[in-house]
Amino acid sequence: MNTAAQAFATDPEDRLRADLYNFLGLILARPADGMLLSQTAALSGDKTPLGQAITALATAAGKAKAGKVEKEYNDLFIGLGRGELLPYASYYMTGFLNEKPLASLRRDMSSLGLSRSETVFEPEDNIASLMEMMGALIVGRFGPPTPIQQQKTFFNAHIAPWAGHFFEDLETAENADLYGAVGRVGREFVEIERNAFRMAAVH
């Protein structure tokens, strides 16, 4: 059995996957405050490409100030009218907001027992929500942990077609400093997940 497939079957590995999805969801949902910056600065990575990206993010977080990070976040994602990036699946997949990818996601969320929080007003297909959903599916936050094949189906439908492109854009965005490092982590992680799901399918 391939090690990538084994990783999916190992509870501690699944927990690490879910933790990284949840972290990306958290840091992309709103400007990182002092507490989150401090927690991020304490992260450490190994010598793999993802580990190196995590180390670079920790270094960037250690130098960052909450006020500057808030401005960076607003410039990237909010702006006057719109930010530098539109972090929505519909936009990346069709060029428009609130299109078929969002309707498809809502159908799949309903079938999985997922629903948008009453305190969240963003469309469900934003990158932060999708990261949070994957984390929830892996560990079974809303029920039993989701089987790998179901995780793969959700990932391939709603994350794989666009998240890598989004994270690349974030990594190189003009207004990105801390969030450029977030983009690098996201890009590396999405590629690992893509390859692991592909390998899991043949075993």
Q: How confident is the model at residue 2 (pLDDT cuts 50, 70, 90)?
A: very low
pTM: 0.90
Q: How confident is the model at residue 90 (pLDDT cuts 50, 70, 90)?
A: very high
Q: How confident is the model at residue 80 (pLDDT cuts 50, 70, 90)?
A: low
In SS3 terms, the chain reads as CCHHHHHHHCHHHHHHHHHHHHHHHHHHHCCCCHHHHHHHHCCCCCCCHHHHHHHHHHHHHHHCCHHHHHHHHHHHHCCCCCCCCCCEHHHHHHCCCCCHHHHHHHHHHHHHCCCCCCCCCCCCCEHHHHHHHHHHHHHCCCCCCCCHHHHHHHHHHHCCCCHHHHHHHHHCCCCCCHHHHHHHHHHHHHHHHHHHHHHHCCC
**Domains, the chain, ranges and CATH?**
3-200 (1.10.3480.10)
**How many CA within 13 A on the CB side of residue 203?**
15
Over the stretch 119-153, which tens digit does the pLDDT of each residue have? 667 899 999 999 999 999 999 887 788 899 999 99
Does residue 108 surpass a pLDDT of 50? yes
Give residue 182's pLDDT: 98
Give residue 49's pLDDT: 97
